[in-house]
Amino acid sequence: MRYELRAMSLGDILDLSIRLMRDHFVLLCAITGAIYFPYNLLANFFTAGTQNPEAMPSFSPVILVGSLIGLLVVMVMGPVANGAVTKAVADRYLDRPTSFGQAYGYVFRRFGKLVGALLLAMLLVMFGTLLFVIPGIILYIRYLLVPVVVVVEDVGGGTALKRSRELMKGNWGKAILLGILLTIVMMIMSGLTALIPQRMLAATVSAAVTVLYTTFAQIVIVVIYMHARCQKEAFDLEFLAKSLAESQPTGETG
């Protein structure tokens, strides 16, 4: 295999995530960018155009349409894009062929499972957040792997949530530290983008930064999932045994 399949340290997870991003940059960013780039570009222009309260009334069709599009992307198209890049990352990690169309096609066929599981997880996180924030953070980390479980294991609903909870046991520290690191990097990149004086260029760069960040974040989540399965279920040995069995010529005997 091109990428070693094993339980990893924090540094190993980060290093492998960077390698996956570098080796498959065009494919992974194309999958994420197909939805996130045009949406964020339009959102940035929309935000810039409404910063002046005198430029637009308190309610207008533009605001309504923009809000509806934003809701559609967040609730539907965002999870689809994340699921597609998750599928592509998992396939490349396991040395399987994949493509833009294959990744999206796979996720669209499991659209109900993916959105249903994410909606259930989101509702639990929102409920936890209302209980003085901390429970929401705990639930968010607990269900971090839900989209990967749905895509890789083809399960949904409560089963996906339970699997994520089980796999995240013992991996909270890694997830929190990686989350903090990614947040710092995003804040720095956003801060640098804000220094660009030209509005159109700034909006374009900001949309591109969002695509890069979202893609890399999904890669990290997939690598954490693979690490957890190797750590808890010896997935590395199971996958190796399956690969060796499939490589044996038909009819060969011991």
pLDDT in tens, 39-66: 888 877 776 655 555 544 555 565 566 6
Q: Domain of residue 161: give its range.
A: 10-247
Element (H, E) at 156: none
Confidence class for position 215, pLDDT limits 50, 70, 90: very high
Phi, psi of 75 (to 5 degrees): -85, -25
Q: What is the mean pLDDT of the chain?
A: 86
* Domain-located, residue 254: no
SS3 content of the chain, % helix, strand, coil (to 5): 80, 0, 20
* Domain-located, residue 171: yes
Confidence class for position 253, pLDDT limits 50, 70, 90: very low
Q: Among 226, 225, 222, 191, which residue's Cα sits nearest to residue 209?
A: 191
Confidence class for position 252, pLDDT limits 50, 70, 90: very low
Say which range, 16-20, 74-78, 102-106, has the weakest mean pLDDT.
74-78
CB 154 within 8 A of CB 109: no
- Residue 155, SS3 per DSSP: coil
Q: Among 97, 83, 78, which residue's Cα sits nearest to residue 153?
A: 83
* Domain-located, residue 161: yes
Place of tokens 């690969």: 243
Q: Which residue has the higher pLDDT, 9 or 247?
A: 9
The fraction of the chain above a pLDDT of 70, given in percent, is 82
* Domain-located, residue 2: no
Q: How many structural domains compose the chain? A: 1
* pTM confidence score: 0.86
* Domain-located, residue 5: no
pLDDT digits (tens, 9 = 90+) for 117-130: 999 999 999 998 88
CB 175 within 8 A of CB 144: yes
